[in-house]
Amino acid sequence: MTQSNIKYRSIRSSDYRILEDIIRKSWNYDRLGSPKLAKQLAKIYLASCLVNQTFTSVAVSNGEPVGVIRGKNIVTHRKPLRYLIRQGVAVTQIAMSKEGRKIGKMFQKIDEVDEILLKSTLTNFDGELTFFVVDGNQRGSGVGKQLYQQFLDYMASENLKTFFLFTDTTCNFGFYEHQGLKRLAEKTLDLPQLQENMHFYLYGKVQ
């Protein structure tokens, strides 16, 4: 797939199902439990990202999303009510099963680790890269670099000098190093649900 075949636009509600499927595959949610749980986790993740953004760009091929990036201006960010409702419904659905509650506790621990990482930097950031995923079939096509550049262009248009992002060993965190970002903090967490330790990182651009 060449860059000339890729279009970029804002997100649409019709994109949600496809993006949830990309998230499910990229984060390998199926290893966490049943197919139903994997779909619910992907729905929660996307809903959370919709709440946590002031900028979004979707890469589209043949009318379907193949990648998305989201970021936010921390100062101007407000949580849209419609996305808060969507997030609340998704969280409620997963909490209705024992399987879902068990995995929910794991993600709560991960959220706590993220808070520790951010506080450890002792930095007041202007912005955050909140969500970035590209369909596996598009890896190496340049879509990821183009989406990332659009995020940087947004940062510049908002006069935001610093930003951060969370990532971990399940992601291609080397991409950020190639883009010149610095690893500012890291922490290892034992996750019995996965029967493994995971490494969590905070990368950022600082002045």
What's the pLDDT band for 80 if we cut at 50, 70, 90?
A: confident
One-letter-per-residue 3-state SS of 27-58: CCHHHHCCHHHHHHHHHHHHHHHHHCCCEEEE
What's the pLDDT band for 1 if we cut at 50, 70, 90?
A: very low
Per-residue confidence (pLDDT) for residue 59, from 0 to 100: 96
For the cut 80, the answer to whether the pLDDT of residue 194 exceeds it is: no
The DSSP code for 79 is -
3-205: CATH number: 3.40.630.30
What's the pLDDT band for 190 if we cut at 50, 70, 90?
A: confident
Average pLDDT over residues 64-74: 96
Most confident of 98-107, 139-148, 173-182: 173-182
The three-class DSSP label of residue 201 is strand
146, 110 Cβ separation under 8 angstroms: no
Q: With a threshold of 0.85, does the pTM exceed it?
A: yes
Average pLDDT over residues 80-107: 89
Tens of pLDDT along 118-172?
999 999 999 999 999 999 888 778 999 999 999 999 999 999 999 999 999 888 8
